[in-house]
Chains A and B, each alone.
Chain A
Amino acid sequence: MPSFDVVNYSLRANKAIQRSLVFEAVRVLQANMNLNDLIFVGLGSIWFADFQIAHKFLHLKDLISIEATEIGYRRAKFNRPFRTVSVKHGLSYDVLPDLLNQTKLTSRPWFLWLDYDGVLDEDKVEEFRNVIERLPPNSIFLTTFPATASKYGRPAQRPRRLRRLLGSVVPDDLSRDQCDDNHLSETLLNLTTDFMIAAAADSARPGGFVPAFRLAYMDSVPMVTVGGVLPPRGATGSVRGLVSSDQWPAVSPYPIITPPLTLKEVAVLQAQLPGDKRLTRKMVKKLGFDLAKEQIRAFEEYYLYYPIFAEITT
């Protein structure tokens, strides 16, 4: 079942934070790399949350959404938020090669975000390689997929599964522990990044692949977002400089695991930030409620992006 039949995308705090970080990062790239004519390509579902931001925040005009199922396609067409959003019917695996054959589309850089519901598999890995080989210079490519450990086989089977999926970049001594519930997101972020760098290097892309997106978040299941920039020859150094800055928003060592908070809790916590010292559990208790240590750290880290949802009743 497609995820849009299950969840309303607009009500997921961690997803919303991750999205904000990604778009803010792309805005930095836009400003520094003169990327005003990006074409946004994504898997828009029927909510088009990313497309709304791509148009309103980044001012991108040409937006293409790919929808796999017949019903999804019809609903997506019905719901497209702007005139310049076009919806393509089919699997991205089939549709993207067609789009990448159209000169009018490949004469401009892309912002391609493959945000999947399903775990990493052979088709996706092959798709990553294909797009990294063929995207126009200056394109931005990122992908999001679940990092649910059990979906990558039983504990003992996971290292071999990842080796088979991602090939030679996977170390021979990848351990079972690196693939357990606590570490799989980190491992997938590392290995997928390495795979993308290798795919660009193997196909001798003149500017290579510069990793720029590395986020883990919890969205009912653990998810990872990974990707980077495909600069033209000569621009690699400047892109590297941008993304290695302390201010770069889309690479974070902390998973985005903020809890659902009430408006009152958000207001009280926000009133303590930014602080000279880190918030502690003791301090939160003193404020009148309680949160786990990791949740406090995540909120501190991402409070600027924490969304407020409200129900409107008439």
Chain B
Amino acid sequence: MIKSKKANANPTKAFFVQMITRDIALEDCILDLIDNSIDGAWKLQGAPPMRLSDGTNLNKYLISIEAYPDRFSITDNCGGITLDDAADYAFTFGRTDAEPQEKYSIGVYGIGMKRAIFKMGRTIKIRSTYKKKKGGIESFAVPIEVTEWLGKPERENWDFDIDPDAALPKPGVDIHVTDLTDGTAAAFGNPSFIQKLRRTIARDYTLHLHQGLHIFVNGEKIDGWAVEMRSSKKFAAMRLTYRDKLQSGTVHVEILGGMAAPPPESADPDEKDEKESRSGWYVACNGRIVLASDKTSTSGWGTDDWPKWHPQYEGFIGLVLFSAEDAKLLPLTTTKRSVDNSSEVYRRAMPRMRELSKQWIAYTNVRKQTIEEAKELEEKAKPIAIFDVVQSKSAKFPALLPKPKRKLTTIAYGMSPSRVRSLATAFGDINMTNRNVGIKSFDYAYAELAEED
């Protein structure tokens, strides 16, 4: 009989690093770092509840990101990490129970910074300058050579060294990553990646940017999306708020939505443009958008009693804002790129989302049969910022009376895109939709060949 022993179940560093970096996109890693900066700024502002119209001013905070094929850096003036936090929490893999949770924060799992820097490169330096409680400032740096750190015997602890460092110009954090991984270097050299990153930041931090936060990417300032709802006597967006009380706290929920833009004239996929692709449901947790322009079952489309998304519904935008003092109560996933469908808070919000979606679906169905009248009314509806939408338990859309349909037949044919553009140009608008090029060419041919004098 053997003597009882213990089997070693400790994870290896290499496995751990590989595991935490594999399931997250590079772009989301950068957003995680921005979240940390914003959490710092939010704390300095006294951690007020995050609401759509709460008047918080983030104008004095600046986050600057530089992403190039040979280096990455993110620098902020959002207060910095304290030496105690660095020693006890900031570099642990995952949040410990002892770690205090910042109020109304976006960071939940205590993994964002480590995951981001390990994903990006192999030579890392994290610098922090912060105000001490008793006055004065203190600075330190945490240099990490990933290859060297991974090479240390597993039995040694996983600690990183903390060194004294020169002060940053203002209290804040400065993270530099070099010796980038091949994938990261390729992405940062790809203009398309950088443009998409700018667009994602403009969208996902639109609420913070609206509150005055400054974010720069490669020296270029990011302006937040202007999310607007069309409003008139006939059109009004829904805006309702309620508190969802859970055993461990309360989540404040705000649901807002309606017509952001008139629907397309046809459901032809060729007619989609960049603005239309903004349609769908958005979900924000403590101000950070985690689900954007969703048209899938995550936001209910195509689930029980709720039709699948169809291009006919373009023009609709719905926004759900969850905020809670304890971020663990929010329906966040670890990558903050979707919502946790199993969350009770989220599931309880969905029936209200469905009601709004169904109102829009009904409107777009009737609209097809009274298109001219609908377009006239839609034109009169003027855009207003979401912050100015008044409270209303449901949205308002015009009551249109369907008219008997004229029988129409459809003509379909394929044509080379460049020839269609040439004809569109000749008709006076190089960006004219394919559908309208078809209609205009028919009208032209009809007038020339078939119309009687």
**Is B417 an interface position by the 8 A CB rule?**
yes
Q: Does B10 contact A (CB under 8 A)?
A: no
Determine if A157 and B190 form an interchain contact, defined as CB atoms under 8 angstroms apart. no
A residues less than 8 Å from B199 (CB atoms): 172
**Which of the 9-residue segments B109-117, B377-385, B424-432 touches chain A?**
B424-432
Contact with A along B177-205 (1 / 0, CB 8 A): 00000000011011111011011001000
Least CB distance, B274 to chain A, in whole angstroms? 7
A201→B192 contact, CB < 8 A: yes
A105 at interface by CB-CB < 8 Å: no
On whether the beta carbons of B418 and A167 are closer than 8 Å, the reply is no
Chain B contact residues: helix, strand, loop or mixed: helix
- A157-B429, A163-B274, A208-B186 known; A121+B418 contact, CB < 8 A: yes
Give the residue of A123, A167, A198, A202 whose beta carbon is less than 8 angstroms from that of B416: A123
Asked if A183 is at the interface of the complex by the 8 Å CB criterion, the answer is no
CA distance in complex: A122, B186 (Å): 26
The interface residues of chain B lying within 8 Å CB-to-CB of A168 are 192, 195-196
Contact of A198 among B190, B273, B421 (CB under 8 A): B190
Whether A201 contacts B186 by the Cβ 8 Å rule is yes
Q: Which of B136-154 contact A (CB under 8 A)?
A: none
Give which listed residue, A122, A194, A208, contacts B418 with CB less than 8 A.
Answer: A122
Q: Assess whether A194 is in contact with B189, with CB atoms less than 8 Å apart.
A: no
The reply to whether A197 and B430 form a contact with Cβ atoms under 8 Å apart is no
Q: In angstroms, how far is the closest chain B Cβ from the Cβ of A172?
A: 7
Q: State the majority secondary structure of interface residues on A.
A: helix
Residues of A near B189 (CB, < 8 A) are 197, 201, 208
- Is B190's CB under 8 angstroms from A122's CB? no
Pair B429/A169 contact, Cβ less than 8 Å: no
Partner of A169, one of B192, B418, B421, B425: B192
Most buried by B among A153, A167, A202: A153
Q: How far is the CB of B428 from chain A (nearest CB, A)?
A: 8
Picked from B192, B196, B273, the residue with its CB within 8 Å of the CB of A194 is B192
Taking residues whose C-beta sits less than 8 angstroms from the other chain, chain A's interface range is: 20 to 34
A204 to B182 CA separation, bound complex (whole angstroms)? 10
Contact check: which of B193, B198, B202 meets A201 at CB < 8 Å? B193
In the bound complex, CA of A274 to CA of B198 (Å) = 46
CB under 8 Å from chain A, chain B span 194-251: 195-196, 198-199, 202
Partner pick for B195 among A124, A169, A201, A208, CB 8 A cutoff? A169
Q: Which residues of A contact B429 (CB under 8 A)?
A: 153-154, 157
Judge whether A201 and B430 touch: CB under 8 Å. Answer: no
Contact B431–A153 (Cβ < 8 Å): yes
In the complex formed, the residue of A with least CB distance to B186 is A201
Binary contact track A184-215/B, C-beta < 8 Å → 1, others 0: 00000000001101100110100010000000
A157–B431 contact, CB under 8 A? yes
**Which of B186, B274, B416, B418 meets A204, CB within 8 Å?**
B186
* Contact status of A161 and B196, CB under 8 A, knowing A169-B191, A194-B191: no
State A13–B132 Cα separation when bound (angstroms).
70
Q: Which of A147-184 contact B (CB under 8 A)?
A: 151-154, 157, 160-161, 163-164, 167-172
Nearest chain B CB to A75 CB, angstrom units? 24
Question: Which residues 307-365 of B have a CB within 8 angstroms of A?
Answer: none
Find out whether the CB atom of A121 lies under 8 angstroms from the CB atom of B186.
no
Complex Cα–Cα for A3 and B149 (A):
64
Q: Which residue of A lies closest to B417 (CB)?
A: A122
**Which of the listed residues B191, B195, B416, B421 has the most CB atoms from chain A within 10 Å of its own CB?**
B191
Please state if A153 and B425 are interface contacts (CB–CB under 8 Å): yes
Q: Which of chain B's residues has its CB closest to A122's CB?
A: B417
Give B196 Cβ to nearest chain A Cβ, in Å: 6
- Residues of chain B with a CB closer than 8 A to A169's CB: 191-192, 195
The answer for the CA separation of A158 and B428 in the assembled complex, in Å, is 12
Taking CB as reference atom, which chain A residue is nearest B425?
Answer: A153
Q: How far is the CA of A250 from the CA of B110 in the complex (A)?
A: 50
What are the residues of chain B within 8 A of A122 when measuring CB–CB? 417-418, 421
Chain B residues with CB under 8 A of A171: 195, 198
Instruction: Looking at the assembled complex, report how far the CB atom of A205 sits from the nearest CB atom of chain B, in whole angstroms.
Output: 9
- What's the least CB distance linking B421 to chain A, in Å? 6
Bound: A167/B273 CA distance, A: 11
Q: How far is the CA of A118 from the CA of B431 in the complex (A)?
A: 18
Bound-state Cα–Cα, A118 to B418, Å: 10
- Residues of the B chain whose Cβ atoms lie less than 8 Å from the Cβ of A121: 417-418, 421
Q: Which residues of B contact A194 (CB under 8 A)?
A: 191-192
Tell me if A198 and B431 are in contact (CB < 8 A): no
Residues of A participating in the B interface, judged by any CB pair closer than 8 Å: 118, 121-124, 151-154, 157, 160-161, 163-164, 167-172, 194-195, 197-198, 201-202, 204, 208
- Pairs across A and B, CB under 8 Å, 16 listed: A121-B418, A123-B417, A153-B429, A161-B430, A163-B274, A164-B431, A169-B191, A169-B192, A170-B195, A172-B198, A197-B189, A201-B187, A201-B193, A202-B190, A202-B192, A208-B186
- 11 additional A-B residue pairs with CB within 8 Å, beyond A157-B429, A208-B189: A118-B418, A123-B417, A123-B418, A154-B429, A160-B273, A163-B274, A164-B431, A172-B198, A172-B199, A172-B202, A197-B191
Closest 6 CB pairs of A and B: A153-B430, A198-B192, A201-B190, A194-B191, A122-B417, A121-B418
